Amino acid sequence: MPISKEHSANTLKLQTEGSLDDSDKDGVINMRDNCAMSDDGVEVDNDGCEMSYDKIKTVDIGIQFDTNSTVVKSKYNEKIAKIAALHKTFSDHVLLIEGHTDSTGTDKINIELSKNRATAVAKILINKFGVKKDDLLVVGFSSEKPISSNSTVSGRAKNRRMMAHFASKKRILKKSWNVWSMELGDKKSEVREYYRLLD
């Protein structure tokens, strides 16, 4: 069966433009990507652009801590700098920093540990990268929200994570002294509480 001119032209176009190339690794191929250089970890729409400003943007900061430690290693400064740069883009948003742990240790210890790790990251954002204190809220979720099994070494490593959410200020509600709440994601019933830095 003869190949049509239109089919030949489309094939040539695919070969020329690199149909499956995804230069910024955002999951959208270059041919369809209207925003060529998306930041790592930022959610994008079908056109490869960051989700619209009325939605929450969630980023895995990619920081790992030593066991029972809240010290942020200097090698992670570049990752934190990217979060600060994103915050400048979303200047009308609150930056929520979440700490998560694996299931090792007691829940009481892990709640404090995860919150203190979130606070350590927040203080670097303030002191090193100029993010305003009033634009930050922190929380520690201990091991409440695992994304992998805690029965394996690799699973526990994935669960020890730091997340950042960029949320419109109108979505944050003051619940009581120093406690703010927000409906996160599509689950309307999932309300999370965050805390302002006091020192």
Class of domain 52-195: alpha beta
Q: Report the alpha-carbon distance of residue 37 to residue 118 in Å, rounded.
A: 28
Q: Where are the domains of the chain?
A: 1-45, 52-195
Stated pTM of the model: 0.66
What would the pLDDT profile of 105-159 be if each residue is shown by its tens digit?
Answer: 899 999 999 999 999 999 999 999 999 998 999 999 999 989 999 999 989 988 8
The full length of the chain comes to 199
Q: Which amino acid is at 52?
A: S
Average pLDDT for consecutive 10-residue bins of the chain (199 residues)?
53 54 73 66 60 67 86 94 92 89 92 94 96 91 91 90 86 70 54 69
DSSP strand pairing (93-99 vs 162-168): antiparallel
Q: Report the alpha-carbon distance of residue 124 to residue 80 in Å, rounded.
A: 8
* The two structure tokens encoding residue 47: 């056109």
